[in-house]
Structure 1
Amino acid sequence: MSVIRNLRRLMRRAYKRTVDLSHPARSPLGSSVVNCVIYENGVRQPGAYPAEEALARVRKAGTGFVWVGLHEPSGEEVTRMTELFALHPLAAEHALHHHQRPRFERYDDTLLAVLKTCRYVEHGELTATSEVVDTGELLVFAGPDFVLTVSHGRHGSLGPLREALESVPDQLAKGPAAVLHAVTDRAVDDYLAVTDALQNDLDAVETQVFSEDAARADPGHIYQLKRELMELKRAVAPLDRPLQQLAAGPTTPIDAELVPYFRDVAGHLTRVTEQIASYDALLDSILQAHLAQVTLAQNEDMRKITAWAAIIAVPTMVCGVYGMNFDHMPELHWEYGYPAALGAMALACYVIHRSFRRNGWL
């Protein structure tokens, strides 16, 4: 697995030099064609060729493969590539329309991978409308002698990945399946990076809920983070079973030599899935704890209101009785009757107040 570690290290270095796929300088061969390159024995061949000529050269030589990258192609460009590589008719629909469910799907001798690209959106403070996870889409068609990648979104550049692969020709010499592995591995590594970054937001929400001023915590923050986590889950969860199947044994176009590499990616995806499940459970617990704290605070307020109402009821009752203006009232004509009544009311209120304080109601 040292090859995988070296490849990942090179990808991280190259990622710092990422160039936006939609930039005109990255598309010299057309409005959506990012790159079209021929590889033989893992070595990039010089020259820039149209996709048709590049594929004809590879098939005439009988070795190597061509890698064509597209970014948000038009319908005409997708149709042209579909006819060129003899893809299944459904492939054109998949390549043209994004917002699809992640999956691996086989069409004869071509394997289609639909992947979601994910990026953590930096933000100063989590709010009820904060965007935390930004997703794009990447499709990879891996055939016997070609790789066709179609990306949607502005953060799925494969330029750094291509550079990293070209620096390891022995890995790239394994053919289109090696590119499929590298793209999948890059996507899963991005999922790991996003889940690690989400831990900080989770800690911030947890600290806010269990702080002394927990009553002022906004449940909208918790819900927003849970919704963003759900978006990440929709990108990750559907890939678990297909990757496990690819890791189980060789299948076209993945030979036995590359099976351990896909097994490694499947292991990392399992880790991401487990982290998302634990985050989701923790958010549920935090939300329940917040609701319990709100309910407890409301109960405390109600007990205080009830206690003060009971205290005020004593002088109210006494004043109500004396306010009836009957001729024969207790101590009505006594010189000290008025202050005595006030003192009795004050004493009664004091005793009730002490009782409530002793029981924790006040």
Structure 2
Amino acid sequence: MTVPTERAVVGCGVYVDGVREPGHVTHQAALERVRETGRGFVWIGLHDPDRHQMEALASVFGLHELITEDAAAGRQRPKLEVYENSLVLAMSTVEYLEHQKVTDTTDIVSTGEIMVILGRDFVITVRHGDVAGLSGLRTELEGTPERLARGPAAVMHAVVDLVVDGYLRVAEKMSREVDDLEIAVFAPRTRVGIEQIYVLKRELLELKHDIAPLAFPLRRLSVEHLDLIPSVVRHYFRDVHDHHTRVAAGISTLDEQITSLVHAAMAMIGVQQNTDMRRISAWVAIAVVPTMIAGIYGMNFTNMPELRSEYGYYVVLGVMAAACTGLFLLFRKNRWL
């Protein structure tokens, strides 16, 4: 059963001079209105559309079939693709998940995806996953008509800016996670499971793979003279690119920091193992003395000295106790015990 395209549409509006026209319209009627009047643009928001819904939308807006496939499939690596009459920007979104304690099953960062399809008189935002809803952004932009008056490219910039701001928030919280773990690792008499460090390492690597690839698309948007990006909006993309560069560098620094923690934790584990082995060896050495003496006098030979001595038993016990005490004090002095 084919689901109507309207089921995937979470928002549709016509904007003229930055102001949204009143009333509810379908995506097809909205585009017809804009093209008949030659003014304004259409902004359509989609959530998890399937292939049939995207094909129906593509037939109305004249989208390339590859755009349809990518938008329906999701899971696209961050990229910018230039078509004859449209631009497509795919981005990963991230969100920090609050948690009480880091374990090997803890998810610290949740990811999603947003794709922005930009045309001369329309912009389509396609969201996959529950991360980074855009309803608040639409309301914010509608409150500042001067931004929307710059055209559909202003919407693309606002979406990218929202996504990169999300990167910054997650990076700051991950930085606190790493700092807290670093304090715990080097705190005296505190044992931190190596699994906790590996979990943070895993989450940072995933975050790095989601964030880093967006650098090249943002550079193109801020530097290249693309027909669908007015020069006034291109300047704003440069600011976003700077923010992205900063957060990408911060994530790389955190990754190096957590790698150092892995090495430090492994070294501390090695030191602890050496200490434990030294302590075990000391106790074994203490236990060897009475074991050896008892073994000698348990060999059952007929002619052995002191077997018939009246005080031989007590003397041997005394020798055992004195030897064990001496070894204990020696090992304690050398800090083996």
Give me the TM-score of the superposition, normalised by structure 2: 0.92
Q: 1:323, 1:158 → 2: CA distance?
A: 86
Q: CA offset at residue 115 of structure 1?
A: 1.3
Deviations 1:125-175 (A, max 9, x none): 222212211111111001111101111122332111111112222221111
Q: Provide Cα deviations, 1:330-350, integer angstroms capped at 9, x if missing partner.
A: 444444433333323322222
Listed as ranges, the matches of 1:71-82 within 5 Å are 71-82=47-58
Distance 2:291 2:305 in 1: 17
- Percent identity reads 45
* Residue from 334, 339, 343 that aligns with 2:318: 343
User: Does structure 2 retain, via aligned residues, the 8 Å contact 1:121–1:133?
Assistant: yes
- 1:34-113 to structure 2, matched below 5 A, reads 34-113=10-89
AA matched with 1:274 = A
1:283 pairs with 2:258:
yes
Q: Which amino acid aligns with 2:321?
A: A
Judge which range, 153-162 or 81-90, deviates more.
Answer: 153-162
- Once residues 178 and 284 of structure 2 are traced to their aligned partners in structure 1, the CA distance between those partners, rounded to angstroms, is 42
Q: What residue is the counterpart of 2:143 in the other structure? A: 167
Counterpart of 2:105 in structure 1 is 129
1:37–1:45: 8 Å Cα contact kept in structure 2? Answer: yes
Q: Shift of residue 107 of structure 1? A: 1.1
Q: TM-score w.r.t. structure 1 length?
A: 0.86
Supply the distance in 2 between the matched residues of 1:345 and 1:134 (Cα, whole angstroms): 64
- State the superposition RMSD in angstroms: 2.1
**Contact 2:132 / 2:163 at 8 angstroms: preserved in 1?**
no
> Per-residue displacement from partner, 1:48-93 (whole Å, max 9, x unpaired)?
2222222122222223211111112232221121122211110100
Structure 1 match to 2:329: 354
Shift of residue 238, structure 1, vs aligned partner: 0.8
Aligned partner of 1:26 in structure 2 is none
Any stretches of 5+ residues in structure 2 without a counterpart?
Answer: none
Contact 2:154 2:233 in 1 (8 A): yes
Task: Specify the alignment match of 2:241 in structure 1.
Answer: 266
Q: What's the offset of the Cα at 1:218?
A: 2.6
The alignment covers a number of residue pairs equal to: 334
- Tell whether the 8 Å contact from 1:102 to 1:115 is kept in structure 2 after alignment: yes
1:269: Cα distance to partner?
A: 0.8
Counterpart for residue 210 of structure 1: 186
Question: Relative to structure 2, which stretch is displaced further, 296-305 or 346-355?
Answer: 346-355
1:300 aligns with 2:256: no
What residue in structure 2 maps to residue 252 of structure 1? 227
- Matched residue, 1:179: 155
How far did residue 212 of structure 1 move? 3.9
Matched residue, 2:115: 139
Using the alignment, how far apart are the partners of 1:227 and 1:311 within structure 2? 45
**Alignment check: 8 A CA contact 1:40 1:173 kept:** yes
Structure 1 SS opposite 2:7: coil
Deviations 1:196-244 (A, max 9, x none): 12233323333433334434x3322222222222222222111012212
**Which of 196, 201, 205 is matched with 1:230 structurally?**
205
Equivalent residue, structure 1, for 2:173: 197
Conservation of the 8 A alpha-carbon contact between 1:214 and 1:290:
no
Deviates more, 1:225-234 or 1:306-315: 225-234
Superposition deviation, residue 194 in structure 1: 1.1
Distance across 2 between alignment mates of 1:90 and 1:213? 58
How far apart, CA to CA, are the structure 1 residues paired with 2:36 and 2:25? Answer: 15
Q: Is 2:194 the partner of 1:219?
A: yes
8 Å CA contact retained: 1:111, 1:141 = yes
Supply the distance in 2 between the matched residues of 1:348 and 1:125 (Cα, whole angstroms).
Answer: 49
Q: Is this contact kept in 2: 1:126–1:201, CA < 8 A?
A: no
